[in-house]
């Protein structure tokens, strides 16, 4: 089983459109949306959810009002201002924790003289085992205030790999997070091939360099493609030159094509929606990537 992760130095470089088209062209791959902070692969692949699982992320403090003596120490100790005195009751004040402000540090529970504070597991969202029209898909939705430190990315990725092994599929295609933070590290560590998608802009040039430099540390085969390359052929050449110098293989260029946006609006992959220039470029790109995966 092989794993291909599509990343980008920043969002909006066509990473998800490319991943969705790869899913359509591969047909029998497991697809994983690891861009959990801005998950949108489901908009193109319309998965049907078969199973949902809760994502637990850290702990939060909860005060047991019946045991609280209203001493107010927790309010003073909480450096995140997450505990507030809300009501002056007839006998005692009521202290409550604002779950969105609580960082789960545990100081209040440690110093509450009445032992009236519990640290309970926090629900950070959900992840799903689904079926889309090209095969199985694993994806997730962060809850309000849910924190993605890479843990949810790892859960989604592990589930996709496990599903691929169980179902005898030979490929996992991952829509990775943008940037170079912990979620990206969680998505590229141990992958076989990392494809960085970029655009011919100065920030795109800088971002792809950073993404490659990060991915290189994990020993994967590195590849680069330039999306909308014809908007600035000179800069495209420069990016490709730098990518080769950084040890990456340049596997394709995708020309600017307004049918890409039309496909997004229609909720389809580019290669399903039309046979225009971008669709043809993505097919060529896929063939080049596939050659290295085999």
Residue nearer to ligand SF4 on the CB measure, 113 or 168: 113
Site string for ligand SF4, 155-194 (x = CB under 6 A): ----------------------------------------
CA angle 148, 212, 238 (to 5 degrees): 135
* Other CB atoms within 10 Å distance of the CB of residue 123: 15
Residue 94's SS3 state is strand
Binding flag, residue 107, ligand SF4 (CB under 6 A)? yes
Site string for ligand SF4, 79-98 (x = CB under 6 A): -x-xx-----------x-x-
Instruction: Give the CA-trace dihedral at 29, 35, 41, 42, to 10 degrees.
Output: 100
Considering only residues 58-77, where is the footprint of ligand SF4 by CB under 6 A?
Answer: 61, 63, 68-74, 77
Cβ proximity of 64 and 116 under 8 Å: yes
Residue nearer to ligand SF4 on the CB measure, 86 or 203: 86
CA angle 199, 186, 21 (to 5 degrees): 45
Task: Return the closest-CA partner of residue 227 out of 3, 2, 1, 17.
Answer: 17
Member of 23, 25, 108, 208 binding ligand SF4 (CB under 6 A)? 108
Residue nearer to ligand SF4 on the CB measure, 94 or 250: 94
Binding flag, residue 243, ligand SF4 (CB under 6 A)? no
254: Cβ contacts below 8 Å, ≥ 6 apart: 14, 18, 225, 226, 227, 228, 229, 278, 281, 282, 285
Binding flag, residue 270, ligand SF4 (CB under 6 A)? no
Min dist CB 55 to ligand SF4, Å, is 19
Residue nearer to ligand SF4 on the CB measure, 56 or 238: 56
CA separation (Å) from 142 to 49, 63, 127, 146, 279?
A: 16, 25, 8, 5, 32
Considering only residues 112-151, where is the footprint of ligand SF4 by CB under 6 A?
Answer: 112, 114, 116-117
Min dist CB 106 to ligand SF4, Å, is 5
Min dist CB 162 to ligand SF4, Å, is 34
**Alpha helices (H) along the chain:** 15-26, 41-45, 73-77, 107-111, 151-167, 182-188, 202-216, 233-245, 259-265, 270-273, 277-293
Min dist CB 37 to ligand SF4, Å, is 22
Member of 20, 45, 102, 215 binding ligand SF4 (CB under 6 A)? 102
Residues in the site for ligand SF4, rule: CB under 6 A?
61, 63, 68-74, 77-78, 80, 82-83, 95, 97, 102-108, 112, 114, 116-117
């Amino acid at each position: 089983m092989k794993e291909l992760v599509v990343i980008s130095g920043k969002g909006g470089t066509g990473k998800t459109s490319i991943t969705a088209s790869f899913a359509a062209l591969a047909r029998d791959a497991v697809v994983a949306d690891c861009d959990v902070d801005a998950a949108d692969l489901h908009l193109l692949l319309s998965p049907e959810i078969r199973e949902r699982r809760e994502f637990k992320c850290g702990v939060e403090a909860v005060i047991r009002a019946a045991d609280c003596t209203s001493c107010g120490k927790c309010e003073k100790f909480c450096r995140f201002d997450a505990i507030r005195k809300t009501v002056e009751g007839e006998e005692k004040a009521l202290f409550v924790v604002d779950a969105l402000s609580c960082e789960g540090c545990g100081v209040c529970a440690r110093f509450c003289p009445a032992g009236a504070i519990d640290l309970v597991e926090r629900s950070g969202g959900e992840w799903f085992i689904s079926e889309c029209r090209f095969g199985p898909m694993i994806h997730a939705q962060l809850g309000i205030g849910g924190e993605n430190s890479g843990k949810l990315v790892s859960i989604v990725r592990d589930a996709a790999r496990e599903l691929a092994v169980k179902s005898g599929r030979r490929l996992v295609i991952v829509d990775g997070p943008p940037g170079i933070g912990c979620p990206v590290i969680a998505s590229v560590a141990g992958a076989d091939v990392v494809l960085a998608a970029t655009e011919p802009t100065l920030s795109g040039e800088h971002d792809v360099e950073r993404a490659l430099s990060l991915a290189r540390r994990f020993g994967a085969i590195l590849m680069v493609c330039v999306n909308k390359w014809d908007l600035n052929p000179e800069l495209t050449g420069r990016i490709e030159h730098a990518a080769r110098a950084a040890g990456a293989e340049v596997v394709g260029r995708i020309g600017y094509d307004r049918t890409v946006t039309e496909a997004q609006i229609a909720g389809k992959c580019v290669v399903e929606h039309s046979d225009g220039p971008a669709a043809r470029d993505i097919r060529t790109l896929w063939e080049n990537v596939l050659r290295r995966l085999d």
